[in-house]
Amino acid sequence: MDPTVSGSSALHERILDSLGADIVAGRLAPGTRLLTADVADRFGASRSAMREVVRVLESMGLVEVRRRAGVEILPVERWNPYATRLIRWRLDGPDRLDTLRSLSQLRSAIEPLAARLAATGATAAQRAAIVSAVLGMVEHSDHADESAYLAADVAFHTAVLEASGNPYLSALGEVVGEVLRGRTHHALMPAHANPEALSLHQQVAAFITEGRPDDAERAVAAIVTEATQALADATAEGEAR
């Protein structure tokens, strides 16, 4: 890889993450206006690099370019709540727990439905992907707070959403994945997987494979409920410490 290109990409990511985190945390309040030239000078970046950063922020609804007036920070109501990078910044920010709770509510609405649809319409390959992901979770269950278990967990939930056959549900796979990655990143996962939760994932795989939509829907709903409770317990434990 060209080291110049690599360095440029790293600088782009650093500027984007810095500005995005500042906006989400409120350090750059709505209505604030920035001059791209000033920000470029601050980071030692080119004007073209800054324009690309602004374009990405604009695509998420965080900023708007004002002709001859710079870049304006937009209110939260204008943000795209499904932008995965924005979710990541929110999980890294001061409203992390509220964000996780809101996303848990979203999961409780979409994942049971996806499981029901998957149980009636998943292809053989999709069923195999779900089963394979569960086997990965079982294999790494003694290290549930590490990357291998996380990868299998993300693969499972993504596979169920894709197996729904509904492209709008499938498109939320990255959102759910970001929630799961956020729990691990912020040390909200136990070192050993909860046996009940692991069993529920195995049941979902079996119910989808066997074509049992009611059971698949109930089991996924129980998974989301367990995850929400585990989050509350981890939060309470952290506050107690």
- Three-state secondary structure of 123-170: CHHHHHHHHHHHHHHHHCHHHCCCHHHHHHHHHHHHHHHHHCCCHHHH
Q: What is the pLDDT of residues 10-60, one digit of tens each?
A: 888 999 999 999 999 999 999 999 998 899 999 999 988 899 999 999 999
Judge whether residue 5 has pLDDT over 50: no
Quote the DSSP letter at residue 43. H
For residue 18, the enclosing domain spans: 3-78
Mind listing the pLDDT tens digit for each residue in 74-83?
Answer: 999 999 999 9
Average pLDDT over residues 103-121: 96
Q: How far apart, in whole angstroms, are the C-alpha atoms of residue 113 and residue 99?
A: 22
**CATH number of the domain that residue 141 is part of:** 1.20.120.530
- Identify whether residues 68 and 104 lie together within a single domain: no
CA nearest neighbour of 118 among 175, 159, 156, 153: 159
Is 101 or 16 the better-scoring residue by pLDDT? 16
Q: What is the mean pLDDT of the chain?
A: 91
The CATH number linked to 69 is: 1.10.10.10
d(C-alpha 157, C-alpha 149), whole Å: 13
Whether 47 and 120 map to the same domain: the answer is no
Based on the fold, state whether residues 104 and 187 are members of the same structural domain: yes
Residues 124 and 146 in one domain: yes
Domain termination residue (choose one: 78, 98, 114): 78
